[in-house]
Structure 1
Amino acid sequence: MDNTNQRKTLINGEIALFLRGLIIGKVLTLMVIGGLLWWLLKPNLLSRNSANSYSPNQNLNASSTGGSNFQTIADVPSGSFNYGGSTAWASIRQLVDSQIQSDRPELQLRYVDPTKNSPGSSSGIRMLLDGELDFAQSSRPLTDEEQAIATQRGFTLEQRRVGIDGIAVVVNPSLKVPGLTVEQLQQIYSGQITNWEQVGGPNLPIIPLSQRPENADTVIFSSNNNSKGQAFGSNVQYVYSTTEAVRQLSKIPGGLYYASARSVVPQCSVKALPLGRTSSQLIAPYRKPLVSPENCLRQRNQVNTEAIRNGSYPITADMFVIIKQNKGQEQQIGDAYAKLLLTEQGQKAIEQAGFVAVR
């Protein structure tokens, strides 16, 4: 009798274990099936949630502020378009424009160098006036003369600000000078100051380098960069480009040159000087501490964008998209390009390229 009860107990235990395993197996199976169904339905649920949370004001805000990214801009024309102008925009063309064309493959941008003059804001605007470009990039405002030429040819030019750059002055790394005031810089280029000894440096002749005024990429004779026509002194030596100027400065102990801070501050063969409105307010165009030429290849100097942003750096340049207002395809692409740069994505990319955003 005892053996019979023991066998029953064992059988009942085995049945209980079997049922328990069967129940656990079913639960696990249901969990797997449920998880699989949730995964398959997830995209639809997310889309439905996005649609339910949409507000009409979202589209209005994107439109009024230029949109949050490159995908939100409407009326971007398809095709290949020519553009050119300021050499200061080189990093934007490399970084920002490549992002635009990746996100908007229907838009192809082709940079065109001038055939007769050195590249820069002035030559780009001339090419736009002559119909060689669809829009131009400039590091200075339009002049009255350029607007008058456009009017004579039956259209107008619009300048749309998309960023801010600093103008840096660079010298040979061996030159020992604390910095320059804006007035001293202007006096050097007008021929009134001709020796570094006059501004706290060594007894060494100053050799100022510049692009020719008619091809100038940036200007230095006004805080708002409107005095493009200011005459240079006979001591100024003219160069074709910033690349040529930097190459020459590495060989000229007393030379100096001015250009886009983004273009020259990271260069290893030259040294950027602090500038100020007064001699007691010298502001470096680079982030301190200054990286020595020996360490430059491993750690480049960076532009002091905070000083440009807060206005303490004395010479800045607004960056403009120059748009031909002719109700044609040139106006459409110029307008679209400016809007792309003014999106949140475009402004962040401009900051990444070493400039200051305007939004």
Structure 2
Amino acid sequence: MKKILIIAIIVAAFSIAGGLPSAAQTKVPINVKGADSMWGRVRSLALLYMKDHPQVDIAVSANSLVDEGMKALIAGETDVAMASRKITAQESEAAKAKGLQLDEHVVGYGGIVIITDQENPVNELSIEQVRKVFTGEIVNWKDINGKDQAITVFKSGEKHPGTLLFVESDILGGVPITKSAITLPDFPVIIKKVPETAGSIAYARMRDPFPGPASRIKLLKIRKDEHSLPVRASRETIGDGTYPLRRPYYLYTAATAGKDVRSFVDFVASKGWQEPKLTHQW
């Protein structure tokens, strides 16, 4: 009897001192880091996932950049990297140098919208015309069915490197945006500046908060080529692929990631367009 009592006291002492793991201590941690533009939706989905999977504890870092997320993944400092563009050649080489194989997961699509001021008579552009405007080949609206007015190009700054890289690599065919473009710090500033600047043009993300119907911003319809019909960006046209400036979002993991990490990533991918009530969109 004394022996049983002594064992019970020892077990209780270990529990109080933290010697025996509690339920919280046995949770599997999953760290997610990278593109801040993906933070809201990935975090919302992480909260949903944890409701049905109490064995995991998912931490989604805010205020980070895609470059930082990829660097952390390659260094083994995070389990999942959020990327608003594909892995770069340099990142692939860095992973290869460490003997690390990375898996790419497309988890949703967003749209890049082309905006101008409401007074501009131009309502649509082809992708080729977009390319020529943003690379500086076309510098006057009269050359694309507009009035005789110089084109002012705005672009995003270092706060959105993934978006800038996608625009230059995927939309402009690897050609940099014209040197005459005016760099603004973020998309809220761009959205404010465009209607204040006659003859201006810029790109933004579909998910950015645009003003209401009274706004002086015009979203241009986009044609895939000169023979295609112009398509306006919407959740529906981005989802079905008819809007041509569609942008994929990725999660990257190590090929050796555990089953809990893989399960969470599969969950995010499966909810790419199935949770319309979520506050945050791609």
TM-score (norm 1): 0.59
**1:276 corresponding residue in structure 2:** 223
Go from structure 1 to structure 2 and tell me whether the alpha carbon gap of 1:97 and 1:231 turns closer, same or farther (over 3 Å shift).
Answer: same
* 2:241 paired residue among 305, 311, 319: 311
SS of the equivalent of 1:318 reads: strand
> Between Structure 1 and Structure 2, how many residues are aligned?
250
How far off is 1:262 after superposition? 2.5
CA distance, structure 2, for counterparts of residue 334 and residue 238 of structure 1 = 38
User: Which AA in structure 2 matches 1:85?
Assistant: A
- Give 1:183-198 correspondences, 5 Å limit: 183-198=128-143
One of 266, 269, 272 as aligned partner of 1:339: 266
Taking a change above 3 Å as real, the CA distance of residues 228 and 341 of structure 1, as seen in their structure-2 partners, is: farther
Q: What is residue 24 of structure 1 aligned with on the other side?
A: none
Q: Which amino acid is the alignment partner of residue 242 of structure 1? A: F
Identity level (%): 18
Structure 1, gaps ≥5 residues long: 1-76, 286-303
What is the root-mean-square deviation in Å for CA atoms of aligned residues? Answer: 3.4
Q: Which residue of 2 aligns with 1:348?
A: 274
Change (3 A) 1:157 1:230: farther
Cα deviation 1:262-283 (Å, max 9, x = unaligned):
226x444533110112345211
As a proportion of its length, which structure holds more helix? 1
Q: 1:132 to 1:175 in 2, by over 3 A?
A: farther
Secondary structure of 1:314's partner?
A: coil
Q: In structure 2, do the counterparts of structure 1 residues 90 and 210 end up closer, same or farther at CA, with 3 Å as the change threshold?
A: farther
Partner of 1:141: helix, strand, or coil?
A: coil
Which structure has more RCO (C-alpha within 8 Å, separation ≥ 6)? Answer: 2
Distance in 2 separating the partners of 1:236 and 1:355 = 28
1:204 aligns with 2:153: no
Partner of 2:163: 217
Which protein is richer in strand relative to its size? 2
Name the structure 1 match of 2:15: none
Q: TM-score under structure 2 normalisation?
A: 0.73
Q: Is the 8 A contact 1:305 1:355 kept in 2?
A: no
- Please give the per-residue CA displacement for 1:187-225, whole angstroms capped at 9, x wherever unaligned: 111111112222122333222222358923252356xx3
Q: Give the counterpart of 1:81 among 31, 40, 43.
A: 31
8 Å CA contact retained: 2:239, 2:273:
no
Aligned position for 2:16: none
1:94 & 1:245 partners in 2: Cα distance? 26
Task: Indicate yes or no: 2:165 matched with 1:243.
Answer: no
Q: Flag structure 2 segments of 5+ consecutive residues without an equivalent.
A: 1-26
SS, match of residue 192 in structure 2: helix
Q: Does 1:162 align with 2:107?
A: yes
Question: Displacement of 1:183 after TM fit?
Answer: 0.6
SS in 1 for 2:163: coil
The equivalent residue for 1:70 is: none
The residue number in structure 2 matching 1:35 is none
Alignment CA distance shift 1:158-1:351 (3 Å):
farther
Between the aligned partners of 1:165 and 1:145, the Cα distance in structure 2 is: 25
Shift of 1:147: 0.7
Residue type of the partner of 2:219?
A: A
Q: Which residue of structure 2 lines up, in the alignment, with residue 22 of structure 1?
A: none
* Structure-1 separation of matches of 2:141 and 2:172: 25
In structure 2, do the counterparts of structure 1 residues 182 and 226 end up closer, same or farther at CA, with 3 Å as the change threshold? closer
Distance in 1 (alpha carbons) for counterparts of 2:173 and 2:163: 10
Change (3 A) 1:164 1:80: closer
What residue identity is the alignment partner of 2:250? Answer: F
Matched to 1:216, the amino acid is: G
The letter of the residue matching 1:336 is: S
SS in structure 2 at match of 1:284: coil
- CA 1:277–1:241 in 2, change beyond 3 Å: closer, same or farther? same
Give CA-to-partner distance per residue, 1:58-114, whole Å, 9 cap, x none.
Answer: xxxxxxxxxxxxxxxxxxx62362423151x35514643342344445423232324
Q: Give the Cα separation in 2 of the matches to 1:248 and 1:133.
A: 37
The equivalent residue for 1:322 is 252
